[in-house]
Structures are given as C-alpha cells and as structure tokens.
C-alpha cells in the first residue's frame, strides 16, 4: 500500500554523500527508487512525471538543478526561474521522498573534465541550434544517475530529442536504469507547459499558440488518405512563419527513432517544431501513429 503524501517526510539534500546514504537505506528496505530530473520552476508537466514516479516507486527523488553545461553562452542561464521554495512545497504536497538540489560546484568542480556525448543524434535539430546542449544534458543525466542509482527515471515527451538521446546513452553505456517517457501536458489553449512560458508577454503567449495549432493541423492531415508529407510540412511552416513575432527555427516530420526527415507517411512519425517567440525559444512536438501502415522502426 502506498504511504499517503501527508505522512511522508520530504528531505532536501545538497550533498552527494548524504543523498546516497538516504537512497541506500531505502534500497536496503527493498524500495524501488524513481528519479525525476528537472531544472525546477515546476509546473503541471513536471508534476505529471512525479505522479508517475509516485505510482510506481516506493522512494521518489526529484532533482532540481539548473545545469549550466546545457546552456549556450547567449542563452538564459542567469535569468532561468529558480523558485526553489515553491518547488519544494510542490514536492512535499506530491509525497516526494527526497529533493536533490546541489550547488553548481558540487556537480562541476573547477577541474571537471569528463563529458558524455551521444554522437550524431546530438547534432541534429535542437543540437544544431544549441551547440553543446545535449553534451551538457547527457553528462548531467549520467551524473544524476550515478548519484541516485535509480531503478526508473521519468522524462517528458516534451523534450523529444532529449529522451531519445538519454535512451541511446543508457543503451550504449549499459546504464541499468529503466526509462519512462510521459505525455506532454498542455494548457487548456494547447500551449505545451514549459518553465520558459513565464518569459512570454500576453501577446507573445497568444502568438505562441501557433506551434500547437500547426502540430494539430499536421497530425490531422497525416491521418488523411494519401497524405503528402512535403505539402503538409510546407503549410505548417507557412503557418508558423507568418505568425507575428514568431521566428521559425525548424519544423519537420521525422522518424521518431532516428529523427531523420521522412517524405512518405509511415507507421510512427514525430512532428517537431522549434521557434522563437520574441526572445523566448519554444519547442513542441506530436507523435503520430498510423496503425494500418507497416512498421519501419519501433520506439523501444
């Protein structure tokens, strides 16, 4: 029987040895350890991952760390929101057992020299627009995995390329962690929740709805008989590109395992979009399944 949230004790750790001890004790008690890696500024998308972890694991760890190595020099590292007190309250409310909130120097001592790079996949799409981003992500996630040694880790489909890269890293390096990918949580108007949405002015927020609108359009068109991918992508790009204040970075229909663009409909497809709305960079995606088509590739 799961212990109700109100009788659980949340502990907050900054220190690697201390959280390791707490987790080791939970493991000795036979508890399944779940981890939800986040950069904080928790919203309902993060909370859905925590709830998924809570449902499957007896000991849930949420990591809150704004990881400097995944930000480019011109990016928003210094202004990224850090409402730690509110985040801790949310974790307590959801019955999280441990929050790991390390200092940057704890994760990256001054002589830190070891990075993980998932080749090829890290250079496409997001990686092309954010050089070095996935090297930082893979490195910090592997570090968090070796600190927490979870049985299961929870990621969002929202960062589609990220979950693919983490899966590949775990497979390639024999990292013994089960990965779960949870669906995108959206606002009622369709905007995918993101910690960066707080940067949007009311009019920018309105403009940003073109991302989910274009994905919805693409998804619907792909279900039509004899769907023409090139034509669909063209219309979607025009939709996003013509929205006031929105600069399209990329919009593709791709194979969800390789992220190679496709030109013919296949059983599983992913529609990926990234755009700047004012100075805020937003990403979104949708997975499309056409069950009547033959299997090209399969999401593991």
Give least dist CB 85 to ligand AMP, A. Answer: 17
Q: Is residue 161 within the footprint of ligand AMP (CB under 6 A)?
A: no
Q: Is residue 284 within the footprint of ligand AMP (CB under 6 A)?
A: no
Burial 74-104 (b: 16+ CB within 10 A, else e): eeeeeebbeeeeebbebbbebbbbbbbbbee
Give least dist CB 145 to ligand AMP, A. Answer: 13
270: Cβ contacts below 8 Å, ≥ 6 apart: 160, 253, 254, 255, 256, 259, 285, 286, 287, 288
CB nearer to ligand AMP: give 184 or 233. Answer: 184
Region from 10-18, 89-97, 188-196, 254-262 binding ligand AMP, contact rule CB under 6 A: 188-196
State the burial class of residue 141 (Cβ atoms within 10 Å of its Cβ: 0-12, 13-18, 19+): buried
Collapse the DSSP code of 170 into the 3-class scheme (helix H, G, I; strand E, B; otherwise coil) and give the result.
Answer: helix
Query: Which residue is catalytic, options 21, 46, 101, 133?
Result: 46
Q: How do beta strands 246-254 and 268-277 pair?
A: antiparallel
Active site residue 296: no
Among 39, 107, 177, 270, binds ligand AMP (CB under 6 A): 39
Among 159, 208, 236, 265, binds ligand AMP (CB under 6 A): 159
Among 194, 208, 268, 280, binds ligand AMP (CB under 6 A): 194
How far is it, in rounded angstroms, from Cα 100 to Cα 62? 6
Q: Annotated active-site positions, please?
A: 46
Residues that bind ligand AMP (CB under 6 A): 38-39, 45-46, 48-49, 155-156, 158-159, 182, 184-185, 192-195
């Amino acid at each position: 029987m799961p212990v109700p949230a109100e009788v659980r004790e949340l502990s907050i750790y900054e220190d690697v040895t201390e959280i390791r001890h707490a987790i080791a004790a939970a493991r000795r008690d036979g508890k399944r350890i779940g981890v939800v890696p986040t950069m904080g500024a928790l919203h309902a998308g993060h909370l859905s991952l925590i709830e998924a972890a809570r449902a499957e694991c007896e000991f849930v760890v949420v990591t809150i760390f704004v990881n400097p190595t995944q930000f480019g020099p011109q990016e928003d590292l210094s202004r990224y929101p850090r409402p730690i007190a509110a985040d801790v309250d949310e974790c307590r409310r959801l019955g999280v057992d441990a929050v790991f909130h390390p200092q940057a120097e704890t994760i990256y001592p001054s002589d830190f020299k070891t990075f993980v790079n998932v080749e090829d996949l890290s250079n496409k799409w997001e990686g092309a627009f954010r050089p070095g981003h996935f090297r930082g992500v893979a490195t910090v996630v592997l570090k968090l995995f070796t600190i927490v040694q979870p049985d299961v880790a929870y990621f969002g489909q929202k960062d589609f390329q990220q979950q693919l890269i983490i899966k590949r890293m775990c497979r390639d390096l024999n990292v013994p962690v089960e990965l779960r990918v949870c669906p995108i949580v959206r606002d009622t108007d369709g905007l995918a929740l993101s910690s960066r949405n707080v940067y949007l002015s009311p009019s920018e927020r309105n403009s940003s709805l073109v991302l989910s609108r274009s994905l919805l359009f693409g998804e619907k068109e792909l279900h039509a008989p004899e769907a023409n991918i090139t034509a669909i992508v063209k219309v979607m790009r025009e939709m996003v590109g013509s929205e006031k204040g929105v600069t399209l970075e990329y919009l593709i229909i791709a194979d969800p395992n390789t992220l190679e663009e496709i030109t013919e409909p296949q059983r599983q497809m992913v529609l990926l979009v990234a755009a700047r709305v004012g100075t805020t960079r937003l990403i979104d995606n949708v997975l499309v399944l056409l069950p009547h088509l033959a299997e090209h590739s399969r999401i593991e």
